Amino acid sequence: MTNLAYPEVDIRRSGQRFATDIDWLDSHHCFSFGRHYDPSNTHFGLLLVSNDDVVAPGSGFETHPHRDMEIVTWVLDGELVHQDSEGHNGVIHPGLAQRMSAGTGILHSEKNDSWRVLGGPAHLDPVHFIQMWVVPDTPGIAPGYEQLDISDELARGGLVVVASGMERHRDQRAIHINNKYAALQVAKLAPAQTVEIPQAPFVHLFVARGAVDLEGAGLLATGDSARITASDGRRITAQGGDAEVLIWEMHASLG
């Protein structure tokens, strides 16, 4: 926990992110990930991973393990097929909130090939999604999976609580994550629309598409992010068109 008193804003530009570019994957990492390691950039607050992935059609992440991690996936374009060792299957699409709790251990795959896996129509377009990991506040829980379509809530405008473990979000969150100090909120903003960033010791703002003006800090474009300590409720406003932002509100840190 922390009692930071003075707001600080650390802007990270899209081009500063680590990049993994292979034949089927174009991925950009806000934090150290895989072969990319910087001891000064391993996390922010409780957020360990924020990967901006584009996966080519007919490909994806083969079956691999996870343990003691809350993994939230947010699709921007296309469809992503999830399958895991607990028997969960799902096609994640824009507007669908999805969380996998790795807990004591789980195997899963994520692919852009629902036509092969689930017998649906062939997908010839890439899938673009943001995947985010936070640590659970209790290790060794049973693995789990949850998803819910929140397209109607997003269309109304404003910040929508996508995933949260906070008690105060009990009646408004779409899906539950196993950390009582963390919440993900998403807003799809119309041109010039404004929302207020939550007040919290740690806030991670990521611009998934479009551009926004962050009060007191200036313009953030697609792929840019801001790490805000002692967030004071400043506002963001869509600039030059529609925008989509992902905001992690966190009331604790890994240190």
User: Does the pTM of the predicted model rise above 0.95?
Assistant: no
SS3 15: helix
Q: What average pLDDT is seen over the chain?
A: 92
With tokens 């296309």, the residue in question is 78
Encoded tokens for 104: 């004591």
Q: What is the pLDDT of residues 20-74, one digit of tens each?
A: 999 999 999 999 999 999 999 999 999 999 999 999 998 888 888 999 999 999 9
User: What's the pLDDT at 116?
Assistant: 53
Name the residue ranges covered by the structural domains of the chain.
8-250
Q: What is the pLDDT of residues 63-83, one digit of tens each?
A: 889 999 999 999 999 999 998
- Please, are residues 240 and 210 in contact by the beta-carbon 8 Å criterion? yes
Encoded tokens for 180: 């009582």
User: What's the pLDDT at 63?
Assistant: 87
For residue 115, name the pLDDT band (cuts at 50, 70, 90): low
- Please, are residues 121 and 77 in contact by the beta-carbon 8 Å criterion? no
For 6, 192, 227, the CA distances from 154, given in Å and listed in that order, are 32, 17, 24
Contacts of 106 (CB under 8 A, 6+ apart): 65, 66, 67, 84, 85, 86, 100, 143
CB atoms within 10 A of CB 198: 18
> CATH assignment of 8-250, given 2.60.120.10, 3.40.50.920, 2.120.10.30, 3.40.50.2300?
2.60.120.10
Distance, CA of 152 to CA of 245 (rounded, Å): 17
Does residue 172 carry a pLDDT above 90? no
From edge to edge, which strands make up the β-sheet containing 218-220? 194-196, 235-238, 212-214, 218-220
